[in-house]
């Protein structure tokens, strides 16, 4: 049988270690792990393992959350209404599916029109 790594033993004991860490210092946790569970670590190694394990767990939970809660967003625009601020013209366009470039360009055009029709410039 292959010899287990310290980190694999640590993984199995993680819940116990977290409970011990609430009541004891890391030095105390290291002593208890050595005596009761035959896992010999330094405080530095314990700190490193806790960091690694929490980081891995966080990444797994984020991956799991995003795969479970995945929502597919479809952009279906059956009818869009555009307002030309310069001419106050209401225009409808059917079956429009704008891309990000189109949206950015539209935003820039709207900003330019708003600057031209600023409240301060009106008389």
C-alpha–C-alpha distance, residues 50 and 80, integer Å: 53
Q: Roughly what angle, to the nearest 10 degrees, separates helices 43-68 and 14-23?
A: 120
Instruction: With H, G, I as helix, E, B as strand and everything else as coil, classify residue 77.
Output: coil
pTM of the model: 0.49
Q: Are 33 and 41 in contact (CB under 8 A)?
A: yes
Query: Tell me: the pLDDT tens digits for 54-89?
Result: 998 888 877 766 655 555 555 555 555 555 556 655
Residues 27-40 have pLDDT tens digits of 999 999 999 999 99
pLDDT for res 21:
93
How would you label 93-102 residue by residue, b for 16+ Cβ within 10 Å and e otherwise? eeeeeeeeee
- Please state, as a whole number, how many other Cβ atoms lie within 10 Å of the Cβ of residue 33: 21
Question: Does residue 17 have a pLDDT over 90?
Answer: yes
How many CB atoms are closer than 10 A to CB 41? 20
**How far is Cα 89 from Cα 73, in angstroms, rounded to an integer?**
31
């Amino acid at each position: 049988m292959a010899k287990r790594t310290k980190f694999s033993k640590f993984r199995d004991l993680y819940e116990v270690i977290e409970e011990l860490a609430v009541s004891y210092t890391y030095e105390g946790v290291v002593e208890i792990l050595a005596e009761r569970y035959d896992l010999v670590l330094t405080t530095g190694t314990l700190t490193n393992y806790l960091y690694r394990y929490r980081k891995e767990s966080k990444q797994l939970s984020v991956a799991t959350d995003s795969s479970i809660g995945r929502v597919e967003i479809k952009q279906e625009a059956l009818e869009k209404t555009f307002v030309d601020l310069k001419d106050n013209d209401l225009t409808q366009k059917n079956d429009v599916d704008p891309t990000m470039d189109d949206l950015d360009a539209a935003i820039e055009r709207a900003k330019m029109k708003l600057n031209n029709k600023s409240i301060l410039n009106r008389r």
